[in-house]
Amino acid sequence: MLGSEGVIYSYTIIRTKAPLGLPNPYSVGYIDLARSSLRIFCLLDPAAIERLQVGLPVRLVVEPLGDDGHGSPRLRPYFTPRG
Amino acid sequence: MASVAIVGVGMSHFGKHPERTLVDMAGEAALLALKDAGIKPSQVELCFFANGLASRLFGDFTIGQNVFWEVGINRVPVVNVENACTSGSTALYLAYNAVAAGQAEVALAVGAEKMYVPEFGLINSGQSELDTQLGLVAPASFALRAVRHMTEFGTTPEQLAQVAVKNRRHARHNPLAQFREPVTIEEVLSSPMIVDPLTRLQCCPIADGAAAAVVCSSNFARQLGRAVNIEAVILCSGNYESPQNLTSWETDYRAFNLAYEKAGIGPEDLDVVEVHDAFTISEILHYEALGLCKTGEGGKLVAEGYTELGGRWPVNVSGGLLSRGHPVGATGIAQVCELVTQLRNEAEKRQVEGARIGLAHCMGGDKAGDTKSCTIAIFSV
């Protein structure tokens, strides 16, 4: 219903020791969803750190990101640049 | 409602104190406040103890009873308070309300925290909360505000850094602050990047420390002297609605407006202000919510010196959280200690000349892009 697309409202890159088995560095942001008025917090694709900017179109994926803190891959939702 | 005053304050040195226990530091602050007020422990009728982290870090709880017994207070009601970074200011809120309602003539509010432990890490807003599980740590929630403020209003890294430079300059004259060496804009910006665009010197350091305030009815205060009046103490929680505007924080604006209304004053009446500068961007956002400038102009306000000691609205003359450090449970009462000292004209080299009205502001917790808790207290002489 809410769709999986949106644009970045704000973002940051966390460069201190990452919690929860997240990669170092990792990124988070607020996304304005395209198909609703909601603005939601989520992880952003750490492979796209160089491309992140306010207004960038993104879509939600669920892919392995970091590990579960015990060495096994962990699936997480995150937004990645569209196209 | 009876009118209420503060008649005594005290705080321990904020810094790294591995040799001291939480109860030891809290007891020191409490005894200093009682001595400052000129009253005996047996005159205290009601006690509040604020702490944010000891249950997580040490497995300790109901610590207030230990603290108050350490200073010779037993039998009277003791309430332990946790409200994230507003724990201390919430203890003041409760003490104020109890005295105003006639529940007690004299109440004691103490806040303390011990944070220098190995592997402390970063604060979050609750381990099982969804945002925390998605990687939100406290500095990131403010970095997200900073990026948006820079995008919308052109706020610069140098303006952000100026907050840290100013507060360090103030801390030079506060012997109880943790970091007192001056820093330059260049040093602030070249310190390690923590969460873009916030560098290490733009994030408040952890600290061990405690602070205390004796709150009493104005009638009782007349016997003691050196009283500072409490004009308003308010506590607001967030609205948690989506979308949140990360640059003009509705909960912050709402809290300040409510406090001004209760005290019957406006920003033009303020002489000295302590705000919750957990990060440099926080102080800039709070200027705007306070009404010291228009939304978006907080960066210019600090860069032009308006909030410096000697400026129109000296903000965080204690050095703020950025220099003092932020022992979570103690911070809200440490701000009260500073304002009471200022309004009594006892702040020596960091004294704001002729200060008669002061305001303290704290914020705590993070939920759905909003704060969980916001407190304001307004004092006068």
ipTM: 0.97
Query: What number is the average pLDDT over the span B216-230?
Result: 96
State the Cα–Cα distance between residues B217 and B99, nearest whole angstrom.
Answer: 6
8 Å CB contact of A14 and B242: no
pLDDT at B119: 77
Residues forming a β-bridge with B232? B378
Are B90 and B373 spatial neighbours (Cβ–Cβ below 8 Å)?
yes
Per-residue pLDDT band for A71 (boundaries 50, 70, 90) equals confident
- A83 pLDDT above the threshold of 90: no
Q: Which pairing describes strands A39-44 and A57-67: parallel, antiparallel, or unpaired?
A: unpaired
Question: In this structure, how many other beta carbons lie within 10 angstroms of the beta carbon of residue B101?
Answer: 11
DSSP B282: H
Per-residue pLDDT band for B60 (boundaries 50, 70, 90) equals very high
8 Å CB contact of B134 and A76: yes
8 Å CB contact of B134 and A13: no
DSSP B87-131: HHHHHHHHHHHHHHTTS-SEEEEEEEE----TT-----S-TTSHH
Mean pLDDT in chain B?
97
Task: Tell me which residues of chain B, numbers 327 to 356, contact chain A at a CB-CB cutoff of 8 Å.
Answer: none
pLDDT at A6: 98
**Distance of CA A45 to CAs A11, A29, A55, B240, Å?**
11, 10, 15, 26
pLDDT in tens, B98-156: 999 999 999 999 999 999 998 787 788 788 889 999 999 999 999 999 999 999 999 99
Per-position b or e across B327-365, b if 16+ CB within 10 A of its CB = bbbbbbbbbbbbbbbbbbeebeebbbeebebbbbbbbbb
pLDDT in tens, B323-359: 999 999 999 999 999 999 999 999 999 999 999 999 9
How distant is the alpha carbon of residue B51 from its chain centre? 13
pLDDT in tens, B155-207: 999 999 999 999 999 999 999 999 999 999 999 999 999 999 999 999 999 99
Nearest 5 degrees, angle CA B201-CA B305-CA B251?
Answer: 70
Report the residue from B121, B148, B242 with minimal CB separation from A38.
B242
- Residues listed for chain A: 83
pLDDT at B84: 96
Chain B, nearest residue to A8 by Cα: B148
Is B85 known to be catalytic? yes
State the Cα–Cα distance between residues B218 and B7, nearest whole angstrom.
Answer: 9
Query: What number is the average pLDDT over the span B258-278?
Result: 98
Say which residues have a Cβ less than 8 Å from residue A38's Cβ, sequence separation at least 6: A2, A32, B242, B243
| pTM score, whole prediction | 0.97
Q: How far is A22 from chain B (nearest CA, A)?
A: 8
Chain B, nearest residue to A33 by Cα: B243
Report the residue from B134, B148, B194 with minimal CB separation from A16.
B194
Per-residue pLDDT band for B1 (boundaries 50, 70, 90) equals low
Residues forming a β-bridge with B215? B6, B107
Nearest one of B169, B171, B379, B148 to B284, comparing CA atoms: B148
8 Å CB contact of A19 and B124: yes
Nearest one of B129, B125, B117, B121 to B52, comparing CA atoms: B125
Backbone angles phi, psi at B335, to 5 degrees: -60, -40
8 Å CB contact of B369 and A39: yes
Provide the token pair at B323: 């220099």
DSSP H helical ranges for B214-319: 218-221, 250-263, 280-290, 298-303
3-state secondary structure of B138: helix
Query: What number is the average pLDDT over the span B265-294?
Result: 98
State the Cα–Cα distance between residues B196 and A41, nearest whole angstrom.
Answer: 17
Are A39 and B246 spatial neighbours (Cβ–Cβ below 8 Å)?
no
State the Cα–Cα distance between residues B282 and B71, nearest whole angstrom.
Answer: 36
